[in-house]
Amino acid sequence: MEGKKTKEPSKYSYMRINHSGELPFTFVNLDEFDKLDEYKQIRPLFSHYEEDGKMIYLKKTKYTLWCSNGKRYNVEMYIDEDGLSKDLQPNHRINAMINLGRFTSKKFDYLNEKTHNQQTKNCWGSNYIVGDVICKITTGKPIPDCSIYGDNPIKSIAEKRVPNTRMKNLYGDKADKKMSVFYTKLWSNQPWKFVDYNLRNTACDDEEYLDLLRGWGYEDEE
């Protein structure tokens, strides 16, 4: 019958990169995959989901991430499109992973200008995602590497990356600002602009989240 929903065993695994809590990530696999209502099934996977609360409007996006086999892939992911208006807190873990995904090797000294990661950084800085992110992974394929940033994602984000010779030859005095998370350039004819990386919303009263920041050494930061 035309239009009938069909269900089959999921070809995908869903991995939530947690914005808060001790666990960096959680597998949130679905027992069945409904091709016609994927969004409905994914919404409850977010930690801020409330059955009778505000609607979660999902946005699908892709960023390049280092994965468990030591290679980079474009990873499909879902975020709450209204996360900022809901005052969701920055997800430093995924932001650190996206930041390092800009670079072509684990020396982190040469970047790929064409990645969505880099293009977003150039325009808006490295405040990529607030709240949880749900990564969609083909079952059996490499998963995003949540250890790539070490034990402190904020420290990893803020670390100064030194361009290699090839990078310097290609971009000259622009190389440092292209690599730095703190500089943006919305249009090619504009000067580079310094921007902060947000550690938290000033109105944050989530003690679990604040404890996480304190554990990373940022107790007094705004």
Residue-level pLDDT at 204: 82
- Per-residue pLDDT at 222: 46
Query: What gap in Å lies between CA 166 and CA 215, rounded to an integer?
Result: 37
Is-contact 156 100, C-beta < 8 A?
A: yes
pLDDT over 90 (residue 47)? yes
Determine, yes or no, domain membership for 220: no
Domain contains 1: no
Residue 157 predicted with pLDDT over 90:
yes
Domain range for 143 is: 7-215
- 117 found inside a domain: yes
Cα–Cα distance measured from residue 142 to residue 121, given in angstroms and rounded to the nearest whole number: 25
Distance separating alpha carbons of residues 19 and 208, to the nearest angstrom: 10
* pLDDT for res 4: 53
Instruction: Establish if 222 belongs to a structural domain.
Output: no
Residue 221 lies in a domain: no
Locate 119 and state its tokens. 């293009």
pLDDT at 35: 59
Residues 126-150 pLDDT 10s: 999 999 999 999 988 999 999 999 9
State pLDDT tens for residues 197-212. 999 987 788 999 999 9
How many domains does the chain fold into? Answer: 1
What's the pTM? 0.91
Give the ranges where 20-152 is alpha helix by DSSP (H): 38-42, 92-100, 116-124
How far apart, in whole angstroms, are the C-alpha atoms of residue 77 and residue 75?
A: 6
Does some domain include residue 183?
Answer: yes
pLDDT for position 191 = 92
Residue 73 within any structural domain of the chain: yes
Does the pLDDT at position 221 exceed 90?
A: no
- Where residue 43 falls among pLDDT bands split at 50, 70, 90? very high
The verdict on residue 56 lying in a domain is yes
The rounded percent of the chain whose pLDDT value lies above 90 is 76
* pLDDT tens, position by position, 90-118: 999 999 999 999 999 999 999 999 999 99
Bigger pLDDT: 32 vs 98 = 98
